[in-house]
């Protein structure tokens, strides 16, 4: 078979990157939303704040206001306490922490802080937030959801996955389960789903947005205004054609979901290599073994890319926090999508941006303390009357 297995690395995960440096040209062909430059990033013209590393010794005790940075949850604790919600006849997996609050959040006698809804990226699931949930839940309720097609949610045969479907799932979850104005936090395509949901929601549903390295689209056909990218479109359609051949798609998918392949992919896109542990590999691998996972994979990769965040963000007046790992090879800061988001803080007063130094495509899991250092004060300010 002439198809390079490195292509599958890129297709399977939104935070994927070819592990071989000799495959960099192929990566550009397969990831037009990125179009990374070979030059090093110049940060001088970017109006934002860079973050310093938080020492490992401060992990358990470092506090911001009344909130401390707490240890992560065990994956087994998350899996054993998830709930099920039936949406349009499909079973959706979700998690509430702390449980038993009935949809509120903490905060004592004062008005409770708005709850949070965590939305994972492509290939991930609820447990990808294990390092964030306890810290974020100290005075608010935290919800996390497996989008349809991922995690322990249904992966129905013949289902047509779109960004708009995921956004509607989020809005319906807020209406039926959370039932309070909520802050949406998303990574990669989860970020884009949150942006779409916020653009379509009423003020009563969404209180704010937190975007971690937002994707330009559901897949590699999220074309931006770059002539180099447009030249690659025929090649992208060719790969779509190959993936629609069941035997080829199954071969690539089987290779990609092997533990060592996943570990190598994750190591290439995480700045903090210590965060790539066995739990993370299994978080990605386990749902990929489910019946329907291959169909979801093919449908998502070959489907329409969905709305472009460039067209949606200017119409959102909610408070927006953008946290961007500057070592992301999938949506690099000097690529079209990265450049757009780093320009927002200078143009839109409701947007606050932080570049996170040495952090990859999944900042919340890559260097969670660095993320919490910026996220907790922003959330605290959002909760003020």
**Residues 6 or more apart in contact with residue 57 via CB below 8 angstroms:** none
User: Quick one: DSSP state of residue 50?
Assistant: E
* Segments in 270-360 forming alpha helices (H): 278-288, 293-302, 309-312, 336-347
Assign 231 a pLDDT band (cuts: 50, 70, 90): confident
Strands 142-145 and 90-97: antiparallel
- According to DSSP, the residues that pair with 210 across neighbouring strands are 185, 321
Does residue 33 register a pLDDT over 60? no
Cis ω on the peptide bond leading into residue 98 (within 30° of 0)? yes
Assign 223 a pLDDT band (cuts: 50, 70, 90): low
CB–CB of 113/383 below 8 Å? yes
Count Cβ neighbours within 10 Å for each residue of 333-370 and write b for 16 or more, e otherwise: bbbbbbebbbbbbeeeeebbbbbbbebbbbbbbbbbbb
Contacts of 18-23 with CB under 8 Å at 24 or more apart are 18/268, 19/264, 19/265, 19/267, 19/268
Model pTM score: 0.82
Assign 99 a pLDDT band (cuts: 50, 70, 90): confident
pLDDT in tens, 110-156: 557 999 999 999 999 999 999 999 999 999 999 999 999 999 999 99
Assign 40 a pLDDT band (cuts: 50, 70, 90): very low
Return phi, psi of residue 355, to 5°: -85, 135
Does residue 368 register a pLDDT over 50? yes
- Closest to 11 measured CA to CA, from 308, 289, 242, 336: 242
Domain boundaries of the chain, sorted by first residue:
5-382
**Residues 6 or more apart in contact with residue 55 via CB below 8 angstroms:** none
CB–CB of 149/155 below 8 Å? yes
Strands 83-87 and 49-51: unpaired
User: Quick one: DSSP state of residue 158?
Assistant: T
Q: Which CATH number fits domain 5-382: 3.90.190.10, 3.90.650.10, 3.40.50.1820, 2.40.50.140?
A: 3.40.50.1820
């Amino acid at each position: 078979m002439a198809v390079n297995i490195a292509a599958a690395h890129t297709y399977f995960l939104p935070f994927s990157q070819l592990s071989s440096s000799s495959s960099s040209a192929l990566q550009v062909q397969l990831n037009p939303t990125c179009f990374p430059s070979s030059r090093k990033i110049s940060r001088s013209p970017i109006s934002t704040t860079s973050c310093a590393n938080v020492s490992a010794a401060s992990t358990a005790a470092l506090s911001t206001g009344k909130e401390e940075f707490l240890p992560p949850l065990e994956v087994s604790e998350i899996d054993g306490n998830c709930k099920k919600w039936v949406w349009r006849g499909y079973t959706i997996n979700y998690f509430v922490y702390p449980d038993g609050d009935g949809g509120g959040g903490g905060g004592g006698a004062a008005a409770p802080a708005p709850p949070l809804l965590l939305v994972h990226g492509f290939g991930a699931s609820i447990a990808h937030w294990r390092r964030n949930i306890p810290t974020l839940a100290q005075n608010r309720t935290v919800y996390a959801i497996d989008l349809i097609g991922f995690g322990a949610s249904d992966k129905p045969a013949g289902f047509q996955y779109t960004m708009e479907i995921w956004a509607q799932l989020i809005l319906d979850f807020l209406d039926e389960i959370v039932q309070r104005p909520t802050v949406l936090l998303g990574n990669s395509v989860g970020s884009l789903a949150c942006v779409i949901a916020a653009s379509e929601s009423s003020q009563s549903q969404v209180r704010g947005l937190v975007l971690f390295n937002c994707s330009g689209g559901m897949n590699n056909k999220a074309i931006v205004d770059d002539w180099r990218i447009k030249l690659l479109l025929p090649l992208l359609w060719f790969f779509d054609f190959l993936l629609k051949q069941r035997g080829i798609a199954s071969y690539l998918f089987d290779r990609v979901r092997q533990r060592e392949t996943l570990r190598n992919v994750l190591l290439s896109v995480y700045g903090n290599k210590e965060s790539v542990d066995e739990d993370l590999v299994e978080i990605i691998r386990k749902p990929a073994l489910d019946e329907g996972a291959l169909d979801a994979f093919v449908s998502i990769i070959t489907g329409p890319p969905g709305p472009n965040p460039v067209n949606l963000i200017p119409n959102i007046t909610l408070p927006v926090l953008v946290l961007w790992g500057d070592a992301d090879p999938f949506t690099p800061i000097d690529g079209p999508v990265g450049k757009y988001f780093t320009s927002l803080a200078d143009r839109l007063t409701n947007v606050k941006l932080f570049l996170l130094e040495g952090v990859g495509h999944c900042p919340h899991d890559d260097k969670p303390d660095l993320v919490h250092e910026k996220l907790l004060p922003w959330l605290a300010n959002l909760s003020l009357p």
